[in-house]
Structure 1
Amino acid sequence: MMIRLPLLALAGLSSLPLSAQTPPPAVAPTLAPPTVQPVPAPPPPVPIPALSPAQEAWANQWLKNGAAQGLMARQKDSVALKGDALVTALLDRAKALGTGRVDTADFLDIWALRPAAFDPRPGLARAVSEDRLAQWASGLTPPWAGYETLRKGLARYEAIRDKGGWPSLAATSPADAVRRRIALEDPAVTPGEPLTAVIQRAQRRYGLNPTGTLDTRTLAALNIGVDDRIAAIMANMERWRWMPRSLPVNRVQVNIAAAVLTVFEGDQPVSSMRAVTGSPDNATPMLASSIHSIVVNPPWNVPMSIAKRELFPKGRATLLKQGYKIIKTPEGGERIVQPAGPNSALGRLKFDFNNPFAVYLHDTPSRGKFASYDRLASHGCIRLEKPVALAEQMVAGDPTLDGQIQALIDEGKTQRVSLPKEVAVYLLYWTAFANNDGVVSFRADPYGWDKLLASKIEASSRRVDPTAAPSPSLASKD
C-alpha cells in the first residue's frame, strides 16, 4: 500500500531553511533477526505391524496373482519374501491394483484421465493388525463389472495361449477349421450351427459388418495373435484402474474406439447412439469433464491447425464462395470462421465441456458416416448421430427448456443454453470388453495405444515387482 502524506506537510518541509533540511548522520538501525518459520516435517509413514507366519504365507501366495489381474503377461516363480521386502511388495501391488501399474508421469499427454491419489499404507496396517488381509486385498481392484468380466476373459485367453494359441486362417480354410478357430473364443459355437451364424457372431464381437462371409477384415481380426489379444485385455484392465471408484449416476460415456455414445441415468444405460470419433491422425483424448451448456446454431471457429492444413490451401476465393469468413486477428494474422447454418461443420448443436484439447460433442450435416462400421474420421471432436435427442435429455429438468430444443434451432440464431444441472462426460478408449461369461468383444486399436500401454505395464512390473517375468511377446516392445 502507498501511504500519501498531506500536501500541506510536504509544503512545510520544502520551506525549511537549507540547514534545517540537512539530515543528521545516518545511524544503522538495529534490526531484529528475521523470524524463520520452521517447515513442518512430513508425518512419519504409518508403521506396518510385523506379519505373522500365516500372514506371510498368505501374502506370498496372493502376490502370485499379478498375471491374473493383468499386471504382467506372465508370472515367474520367486522365493518367498519376508519382512520389509514383503511389505514393500504388498504396498506396490496394492498401489498397482488401486490406481494402475503405470505411473502417471509415464502417461501420454492425451491420456488425460488420471487416477485419484491413493496411499495403501494405512489400509495395509489395519489389515495386518486386524488379521483381515484377504478382505483388504479384495477391496483393491476396481469395483466395476467391466473390470471383473475382463479378468475372467483374461483367464480364458491365457489358457488358450498356454495350449499353443490358434492357427492362422485363409480364405480357403475348410469350414470345420473356421468353426474350430472361432469356438476357441466363443463357447456358444455348436457343431450343427450354420457357419454363417458363427461368423456373424464373431463379426459382431469385432465390431465388423455382420455379413456372415469370411471377408478380408474378418480374416484379419481372426488372425490377430493371442498374445496381442492378451495385451489388449491388459491395457483395458489398466484403464479401468484409472477410473474413479464411484461414478456420477447420470453421465454420458463415449467409447472412442467403438465410436459409440451411451447415456446413463441412475447408473443404468438408457440409450446409445453411433458417433464419429477422431481419426488415427487426430486422436480423441481420454478425459473426464462435465457438460455445462449447449450452443444452439453454433458458428465454427476453425482451429488454426485445420485452417492451415486443409482450408487456406484452397484459396481465399474458394473459401468465400463456400460461405467461410476470413477475419483479421489482433496480431495481424487471419482466422477462418464458418457461420452458423445447416451446412456448418458443427451442425445445429454443440455440447461444451471444459478440457485442454478444445474437443466437444456436436451435430454434423454429414450423416452418411453413421451408417458405416468404420467411424473414426473426425479431427478429434465427437460427432453425434442423435444430437437433438441428447440435448432434450439434458434439459428435461428445466420446464422452460423441456421439449424446446428444436424450436430454439428453428429460430436460427446462435444462443447458449445453460443446463439445469451439469452432466458428467467421460471419453474412454475401450478396445476390449467382456460379458459375464468372459466372452470378450474387441475393437481395433486405431491409435496403437493398447500395445504401447501393455508394454508400459510390463516394463513397470519388471522394474518393481519381484514376481514379474519378461514376456516373450512384449519384452521386445519396451
Structure 2
Amino acid sequence: MRRLVPVLSGLTIAGTAAAQVAPPPVAPPPVAQTQVPAPVAPVVSAPLPSLSDAQARQLAALIAEDEVTQGLRMTRRELPASDNDGLVRAALDHARAVRTGRLMPSDFQKDWGIQPQAWDPLPGLTDAVRRDRLAAWIRTLPPPYTGYDTLAAGLARYRTIAAAGGWPQLTEAPKYGDRGPAVARLRERLAIEDAALPGTGDRFDAALLDAVRRAQRRYGLNPVGTVGAQTMAALNVPVERRIRQMMANMERWRWLPAELDPRRVQVNVAAAVLTVFDGDAPVMSMKAVTGRPGNETPMLISRINSIVLNPPWNVPTSIATKELWPKEKASPGYLKRNGFRVIDTGNGGTRLQQSSEKSALGRYKFDFPNDFAVYLHDTPSQSTFSRFDRLASHGCVRLEKPADLAKLLMKTTPEWQPAQIDSTVAAGKTVRATMAQPVSVYLLYWTAFAGTEGPVAFREDPYGWDARLAATVERRSAAQALASR
C-alpha cells in the first residue's frame, strides 16, 4: 500500500506548521461533516477462521506488539493462544481499533464531528489465515497516511526515551554566553530530542542557541533563542505526556476517511493554520484565528459551496446576549454606532444583524454545511495574526488572506474571476458567489505532527482534548482485554 507524502504548512514566520497529508486523487467526500459511526461490535455472520497452533502463537504475539506500536496501550499485554475463537475475536477487535479507532460512538464529544466509517475486518483476516500471511495483514491495518506513520515512529522513539528515564526537569533558564551546570542541563535536555546537538558542554554557544530556536519552532513558539517561561514549560512537559499526546493524535488519524479529496482546504485548529491543497501539493498557506477555549472550533469535514462577498453578520444569540446587549446597556447607542440593527424574527423574537459595511466577518465569508454554525471568514481585526497564540474566535475560523483564498477557490468559476470579485467587493453589495466546483474543507485538531525541526512537532492542547482522548483509548483497550479473556 502506498504511503502518502506529508506536507507542512510552511508558515515559518509563525512557527506553527500544520499537520497535513497529500493523498492521490480520489472522488470528493460527502457533503456531511460526520461519517457513519463504526459499530462497536458488529455481528459476525460468517464463520470464524480456524488457526493452526503456529498461527495462534504468531497472531497473539503480533497483536500484543501492535497494540503498543499503534498507541492503543501504554504497556504490552500477553494474549492466550489456546482459545481459537477468543483470539480471532481479539484480532478482529484490534483490526477495527487500528483502522477506524478505539472509541465507541458514545465516547465522541459533540464537537468531535469526524467519526469513522464502518469496516469489517473478517474477510481480510480469513484470507490472511488461509494464505498464512498474518504479519502482512497486520501491516495493512494502519491508516494510509505518512502523518500517521510519523507519529508511530515518534511514539516508538519517545517510549525508548521514557524507558531510559525521560529527560531532566529544568529549573534555571540560562542565556546566550552563560557557562555552568544550568547550561549543561539545558544542552542535555535538548539533545534528547535533537540529534543535531552534541549532548555535552557547559557553554551557551551558537550551536546551543540554534538548538533552542529549533525547539521553539518545534513547539510553535517564537524562535528568538531566549529560554523564557513558555520554552521552559514546553521543555518540562514529561515524556509520558508527549507519548499520550501522540496516542491521541494517532486516534484522530484513524477517524479520517481512507482517502481525502486532493482538492481541499485544511485547517489545523490547534496550530491556527490553514493550508490549501491541489493534488499532492500545498498551493497556499496562511495564518488563521481559531476558537478560544470555551468556544472551541469543532473537528469536521464538509464542502465549501459558495462565498458571500460583503456579508452582513447575523449575530448568534449567545454572543448577542453575553456581549453585545450588555455593551448597549453600558453605553446606549453602541449597537447603532457599530452598524447593528434589531431584526424581528416573526415569531415574537428578535436578532441582531451587523451591516456589511462594519461586519465582523469582513468582506468574505466561506460557507459550508455543518451542524455547528461555523465557517471561514475575513476579519477587520488584523492584530491577532501577529501573535503566536491565535486561539481567539468564538469558534469560526478567521483568515489572514481571505481575498487570496477566494480567488484561488474561484479559479474554475468563469463568472467569478479576480476582477469580478474585486469590483463586487468594492461596490459593497452583498452577493453570494456560487462555486462551479465545491472544495472540500477539513477542520482538524493536530497537536502532534510531522515537523520541520525534528521528527515530531508539538503544540499545546488548548481544548484539553488530548488527555481525555488518550485516557479513553487506554480505558477502552483495557476493557476489551478483560472482555476477551
If the TM-score is normalised by the length of the shorter chain, which range does it land in? 0.7 to 0.9
Amino acid at match of 1:439: P
* In structure 2, C-alpha distance between the alignment counterparts of 1:187 and 1:144, rounded to whole Å: 25
Instruction: Look up the match of 2:341.
Output: 325
Instruction: Look up the match of 1:144.
Output: 145
Q: CA deviation at 1:397?
A: 0.9
Deviations 1:30-63 (A, max 9, x none): xxxxxxxxxxxx9971212211222212201111
Secondary structure of the residue aligned to 1:291 is strand
Instruction: Look up the match of 1:441.
Output: 457
Instruction: Look up the match of 1:430.
Output: 446
* In structure 1, C-alpha distance between the alignment counterparts of 2:71 and 2:282, rounded to whole Å: 27
Q: CA deviation at 1:171?
A: 2.9
Give yes or no for the alignment of 1:385 onto 2:386: no
232-241 vs 117-126, which moves further: 117-126
Q: 1:438 to 1:198 in 2, by over 3 A?
A: closer
Instruction: Look up the match of 2:379.
Output: 364
Q: Is the 8 A contact 2:60 2:79 kept in 1?
A: no
Secondary structure of the residue aligned to 2:68 is coil
Deviations 1:428-471 (A, max 9, x none): 00000125997211000000000000000000000003699xxx
Q: Is the 8 A contact 2:309 2:430 kept in 1?
A: yes
* In structure 2, C-alpha distance between the alignment counterparts of 1:146 and 1:272, rounded to whole Å: 18
* In structure 1, C-alpha distance between the alignment counterparts of 2:482 and 2:52, rounded to whole Å: 21
164-173 vs 381-390, which moves further: 164-173
Instruction: Look up the match of 1:419.
Output: 435
Amino acid at match of 1:170: T
Give yes or no for the alignment of 1:188 onto 2:196: yes
Q: CA deviation at 1:399?
A: 2.3
Instruction: Look up the match of 2:466.
Output: 450
Instruction: Look up the match of 1:76.
Output: 77
* In structure 2, C-alpha distance between the alignment counterparts of 1:426 and 1:375, rounded to whole Å: 19
* In structure 2, C-alpha distance between the alignment counterparts of 1:372 and 1:62, rounded to whole Å: 46
Deviations 1:126-150 (A, max 9, x none): 2212222222222111000000010
Q: CA deviation at 1:75?
A: 1.4
Instruction: Look up the match of 2:370.
Output: 355
Instruction: Look up the match of 2:51.
Output: 51
Q: 1:409 to 1:172 in 2, by over 3 A?
A: closer
Q: Is the 8 A contact 1:291 1:351 kept in 2?
A: yes
Instruction: Look up the match of 2:361.
Output: 346
Q: Is the 8 A contact 2:49 2:88 kept in 1?
A: no
Q: Is the 8 A contact 2:267 2:273 kept in 1?
A: yes
Q: Is the 8 A contact 2:48 2:85 kept in 1?
A: no
* In structure 2, C-alpha distance between the alignment counterparts of 1:138 and 1:428, rounded to whole Å: 25
Give yes or no for the alignment of 1:255 onto 2:268: yes
Give yes or no for the alignment of 1:395 onto 2:443: no
130-139 vs 158-167, which moves further: 130-139
Give yes or no for the alignment of 1:244 onto 2:252: no
Q: CA deviation at 1:89?
A: 0.8
Give me the TM-score of the superposition, normalised by structure 2.
0.85
Q: CA deviation at 1:402?
A: 2.0
Q: Is the 8 A contact 1:102 1:456 kept in 2?
A: yes
* In structure 1, C-alpha distance between the alignment counterparts of 2:44 and 2:92, rounded to whole Å: 16
Q: CA RMSD in A?
A: 1.9
Q: 1:395 to 1:442 in 2, by over 3 A?
A: same
The share of aligned pairs that are identical, in percent, is: 51
Deviations 1:307-331 (A, max 9, x none): 0000011125221122211122222
Q: CA deviation at 1:116?
A: 0.8
* In structure 2, C-alpha distance between the alignment counterparts of 1:289 and 1:344, rounded to whole Å: 25
Q: Is the 8 A contact 2:61 2:78 kept in 1?
A: no
Q: CA deviation at 1:254?
A: 0.2
4+ aligned runs moved over 6 Å, structure 1: none
Select the structure of larger CA radius of gyration: 1
Q: CA deviation at 1:421?
A: 0.5
Secondary structure of the residue aligned to 1:67 is helix
Give yes or no for the alignment of 1:116 onto 2:117: yes
Give me the TM-score of the superposition, normalised by structure 1.
0.86
Instruction: Look up the match of 2:227.
Output: 214
Q: 1:83 to 1:437 in 2, by over 3 A?
A: farther
Structure 2 residue runs of 5 or longer lacking an equivalent are 1-41, 175-181, 200-204
Q: Is the 8 A contact 1:63 1:467 kept in 2?
A: no
Secondary structure of the residue aligned to 2:449 is strand
Give yes or no for the alignment of 1:297 onto 2:297: no
